[in-house]
A and B are shown apart, each in its own frame.
Chain A
Amino acid sequence: MTEPILTVHNCTMRFGGLTAVKNFSLQLMPQELVGLIGPNGAGKTTVFNLLTGIYRPTEGQIIFRGRNITGWKTYRIARLGIARTFQNIRLFRSLTVLENVKAGARIHMRTGLWDAAWRTYPMLCEEEQVHAEAWRILQEIGLDDVAHYRAGDLPYGEQRRLEIARALAMHPYLLLLDEPAAGMNPQETAHLMELIRRLRDEYGLTILLIEHDMKVVMGICERIVVLDYGEEIAQGTPEQIRTNPRVIAAYLGEAPA
Chain B
Amino acid sequence: MEAFLQQLINGIQYGSIYALIAVGYTMVYGVLRLINFAHGDVYMLGAFVAYYIIVGLQIDKHPSVGNFVFVLLMCMLVCAVVGMLIERLAYRPIRHAPRLTALITAIGVSLLLENGGIVVFGADPKYIPTIIEPAQAGESGLFVSVGQMIMLVVSLVFMVILRFIVMNTRFGRAMRAIAYDMDAARLMGIHVDRVIALTFALGSALAGAAGMMVATFTSVKITPLFGLLPGVKAFVAAVLGGIGNIPGAVLGGLLMGVIEAFVGGSALTTYRDAIAFLILILVLLLRPSGILGKAVTEKV
Contacts and interface: CB of A to CB of B under 8 A. Distances in A.
Decide if A and B are genuine partners. Answer: yes
Contacts of B300: 45, 49, 54, 86
A49 B300 CA distance: 8
What secondary structure prevails in chain B residues at the interface with A? loop
Nearest to A87: B300
A86 B300 CA distance: 9
Contacts of A49: 300
Interface residues on B, range: under 10
A49 B299 CA distance: 10
Interface in B250-300: 300
A73 to B, nearest CB: 15
A24 to B, nearest CB: 17
A45 B300 CA distance: 8
A249 B196 CA distance: 48
Contacts of A54: 300
Contacts of A45: 300
A54 B299 CA distance: 10
4 contacts: A45-B300, A49-B300, A54-B300, A86-B300
A26 B162 CA distance: 55
A54 B297 CA distance: 12
A120 to B, nearest CB: 35
Nearest to A86: B300
A54 B300 CA distance: 8
B63 to A, nearest CB: 56
A21 to B, nearest CB: 14
B70 to A, nearest CB: 52
Interface string A40-56: 00000100010000100
Contacts of A86: 300
A46 to B, nearest CB: 9
Closest 3 pairs between A and B when the two form their complex, measured CB to CB: A54-B300, A49-B300, A45-B300
B299 to A, nearest CB: 9
Interface in A71-91: 86
Nearest to B298: A54
A54 B298 CA distance: 11
A165 B300 CA distance: 21
A83 to B, nearest CB: 15
B251 to A, nearest CB: 24
Nearest to A90: B300
A179 to B, nearest CB: 14
B300 to A, nearest CB: 6
A214 B12 CA distance: 66
Nearest to A15: B297
